[in-house]
């Protein structure tokens, strides 16, 4: 196969995935929209006095029954979208978040795992409820499920996560 053709196909696949992700973003929940301009320095929307998850976070996840923690990066969008990357399973997940009350929010993510040949192994689904601490971190708790290609639950676990915001200067 021509190396240029292979590179072109790879780029087109990536562009198709990005287009799908952007299309999903257009249908973001209204609860995360219309909060006014986002103030990155204060970590909140200008019309909102509460901290906001919008921005980039370094997250440490503890999974019940697993001795080592999982490190991840989350990016919460002002439009209610969430993108995450983990170190353990080297997958990227997409999801959504929305406020549940004055000081907590819920987020859900989905990620796909494949075998060495590109076949679907499982879909990972996470649902957590989070609260902000006085120090600006968030702590969340919830469940994670792994489903096979047919939708059968292979495993369900409880987990907690602690997120620390990061930005250009830190």
Sign of CA dihedral 141, 147, 152, 157: negative
| Reported pTM | 0.71
Q: Is 84 exposed, middle or buried (0-12, 13-18, 19+ CB in 10 A)?
A: buried
Q: What percent of the chain has pLDDT over 90?
A: 56
Which residues on adjacent β-strands are paired with residue 46? none
**In angstroms, rounded to a whole number, what is the distance separating the alpha carbons of residues 84 and 82?**
7
- Model confidence at 142, pLDDT cuts 50, 70, 90, reads very high
**115 — pLDDT class (breaks 50, 70, 90):** confident
Task: Return the SS3 of 24.
Answer: helix
In the chain, the number of structural domains is 1
Domain that holds residue 82: 3-166
CATH code of the domain in which 116 resides: 2.40.160
* Angle CA 29–161–76, to nearest 5: 30
Task: Give the length of the chain.
Answer: 170
* Averaged confidence pLDDT in the chain: 80
Mean pLDDT over residues 141-157, rounded? 95
> 3-class DSSP state for residue 31?
helix
Quick one: tokens of 145? 């499920």
pLDDT in tens, 53-110: 999 999 999 999 999 999 999 999 999 999 999 887 666 899 999 999 877 999 999 9
Contact present, 107 and 82 (Cβ < 8 Å): yes
């Amino acid at each position: 196969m021509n190396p240029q053709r292979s590179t072109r196909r790879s780029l087109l696949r990536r562009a198709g995935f990005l287009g799908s992700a952007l299309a999903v973003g257009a249908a973001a929940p209204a609860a995360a929209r219309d909060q006014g301009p986002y103030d990155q320095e204060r970590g909140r929307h200008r019309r909102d006095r509460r901290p906001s998850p919008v921005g980039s976070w370094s997250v440490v996840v503890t999974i019940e029954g697993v001795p080592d923690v999982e490190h991840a990066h989350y990016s919460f969008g002002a439009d209610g979208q969430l993108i995450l990357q983990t170190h353990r399973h080297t997958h990227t997940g997409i999801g959504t978040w929305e406020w549940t009350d004055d000081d907590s929010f819920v987020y859900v993510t989905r990620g796909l795992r494949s075998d060495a040949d590109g076949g679907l192994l499982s879909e990972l689904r996470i649902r957590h409820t989070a609260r902000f601490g006085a120090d600006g971190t968030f702590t969340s708790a919830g469940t994670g499920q792994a489903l096979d290609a047919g939708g059968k639950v292979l495993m369900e676990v409880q987990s907690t996560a602690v997120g620390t915001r990061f930005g250009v200067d830190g």
